Chains A and B, each alone.
Chain A
Amino acid sequence: MRRFLMMGAALTALLMPLTAKAADPIKLGVLEDQSGDFALATIGKVHGIQLATDEINKAGGIDGRQIELVIYDTQSDNTRFQEFMRRVLQKDKVDVVFAGFSSASREAYRPIVDQLGGFAFYNNQYEGGVCDAHMIVTGAVPEQQFSTLIPWMMEKFGKNVYTIAADYNFGQISAEWVRNIVKAQGGKMVGEEFIPLGVSQFASTIQNIQKAKPDILITLLVGTAQSSYYEQAAAANLHIPMGSSVNVGQAYEHKRFKPPSLANMYVTTNWIEEVDDPKSKEFVAKWHKMFPNEPYINQEAENSYLAVYMYKEMVERAKGSTKRDDLRKIIAQGDVCVDAPEGHVCLDPKSQHMSHTIYLAKVNDDHSISFPKVWKDIKPYWLGEAGCDLTKKNPNAQYTPSNPPPKG
């Protein structure tokens, strides 16, 4: 009898891994810059993931399993992204990775995710165009931010548009979007200038803008050197209405810069701390309870927070499976949606990008924010219409309006 019991125990021990599997935690890798150049905008992304994880774990986890976070500080360094991406996929064996702020870091790790068969969320606003079955994008893309912003500004201020943009792929591709939308709306580009990233002195740019007399100035400047533009333009008494897809929503310049250097700027963002509705306020309150020292909750923080819930929704509908192919079958059904602080959002099965509520944030003279307009449910239409269909094929590529995916 005793022997039988022992054998039974041994047998149970052998079978343990199988039966206990359901209770094993789901491992979620987090690769974000907690130090270095981008830390200002990305520490909130880690906190958003921690807040969502905390809430989900307290409510019983995903399909009964707790979430375990594996967090690495990528130090705003692209080689760290590659290093840690290999590590979380091969050594830590995470089920899913949430990673990256700059497009350069995303493009640095994307081939590794593809190669190792991982599954990654990019929870960031970016220049658009990534058609890759291994990626889900929860940030906003140009067609969502510019197709709303530019027609609205042209109607209100006039049809002559000037763009100043950072001279690398984000600025170039975003400027192309601006150009196309201005043209489609019957407006005119009166100038376009690309500025190297390290430039901090803008006398000539300011003069060029003054000479061209635009009604609207689209600023796609990036990084701390280029953000000196706003103070210098204000000092030269340049008060042209500005539109942007990057300011305020990411690096909260309206909080950091002295008023009124950012006055009369209009930004389309899918969420920021000032959004004034009950659900959003509840989110802000929860956040500040967990992270009382956070200076600002930006859009990427919300994108990261809702991404955890999006993942939960997918895994639960796949009956607890975290396998990428199972999850993609769920995405292909076209109705993976969550109620986020910004509102109801859904994943587009063709591009694996997300629909958004787009808020038009206006920076007032005292740098307070008001919202003249809100667009609900703006779809990431471009990739799908252009020919990216991840339910059918997987090109693993990034496309631009002038280099669209092949049709058919």
Chain B
Amino acid sequence: MVDAVVGFLYQFGDAAAFLILAASGLAIIFGMMGVINLAHGEFIMAGAYTTVSVAKLGVPLPLAIGCGALVAGLIGIVLERLVIRHLYRRPLDTIVATWGVSLIASQGTLILLGPSLSDISTPLGSVQIGDLSYSVYRFVLMGTAAAILLALYLLFTFTRFGVLARATIQVPHMAEALGVNTRLIYSLTFGIGAALAGATGGLYAPTMTLVPTMGSQFITEAFVTVVTGGGDVFLGTAPAGVMLGFIRAAITSWEGQLAGQIGLLVAVIIVIRILPRGISGLILRERA
């Protein structure tokens, strides 16, 4: 009984953490800014590659993950300046542009760094609870997912940057008229989204095989979570990740991995049929 309960909670936490971390950067770039970023997976890949390369030099893993986030964030800012900036009023065109960026990034990595980067092993070992043993690092991932959500909430709710960012994104010309440097705000916000993707890549790097196309393993889950969640990072992505994580864990432990994947997608279809503006749309309307 203990095994079943703990086992399920672990699976649920693991699935929810994966969805939330995969989606956290995208929630800002797509959820808030409205840029349909198909290169999100490549930010994750860049973060993972940087993390592993830095960690192999002997840098402690948390610091290496920080480097991964930083590099992905910088790439994000550069990309925003060069490409995305010109497409804010043309959301559909961002699909084409970011898809192109994604192809260039993954094939370019293949050419430069080869088909596979040797990996680093998962830290922290395992813990035995009842009959089953669990990877401790997975608990760290769950905690990190929660911490990132909290940090984002604080950043966008209680800081001056958060207020300016929300103002810029909601009514750009008004913010500009009030003296906000909207170009800088856009750039930084996009950079934060990219950095979160990089951090996700860094966090999952010790558990996965590193290949140039690894971003594709995150991108469906990321979009699904953000679309289900709706525009708000904290009120949308968090409940969506928890809900979809629960559904996936329940169906997977009941009927296997394939059913879990199908169940996840069916749940999403149902949610967006009932709530076209996602979960945060529902919550915000009720409050208003």
Contacts and interface: CB of A to CB of B under 8 A. Distances in A.
A162 B187 CA distance: 51
B118 A256 contact: yes
A201 B206 contact: no
A256 B138 contact: no
A228 B209 contact: yes
A155 B211 CA distance: 37
A222 interface: no
B175 to A, nearest CB: 40
B15 A236 contact: no
A39 interface: yes
B3, B208, B216, B249 — most chain A CB neighbours (10 Å):
B208
Contact of A211 (B3, B135, B138, B211): B3
A75 to B, nearest CB: 11
Contact of B208 (A200, A210, A237): A200
Interface in A24-50: 35, 37, 39-40
A117 interface: no
A73 interface: no
A374 interface: no
A234 to B, nearest CB: 7
A232 B135 contact: yes
Nearest to A237: B126
B181 to A, nearest CB: 40
B53 interface: no
A201 B116 contact: no
A224 B214 contact: yes
Given A196-B261, A203-B10, A236 B208 contact: no
A37 B217 CA distance: 14
B261 A199 contact: yes
Interface stretch (B77-85, B195-203, B252-260): B252-260
A23 interface: no
Contact of A207 (B11, B115, B211, B260): B11
Contacts of A227: 209
A93 B83 CA distance: 47
Nearest to A43: B115
A238 B10 CA distance: 16
Contacts of A235: 121-122, 124-126, 135, 137-138, 207
Interface of B: 3, 7, 10-11, 14-15, 18, 110, 115-116, 118-122, 124-126, 128, 131-135, 137-138, 206-209, 211, 213-214, 216-217, 220, 249, 252-253, 256-258, 260-261
Query: Which 10 pairs of residues, A with B, have the shortest CB-CB distance?
Result: A237-B126, A235-B122, A235-B135, A40-B115, A203-B14, A258-B121, A228-B208, A237-B133, A224-B211, A204-B252
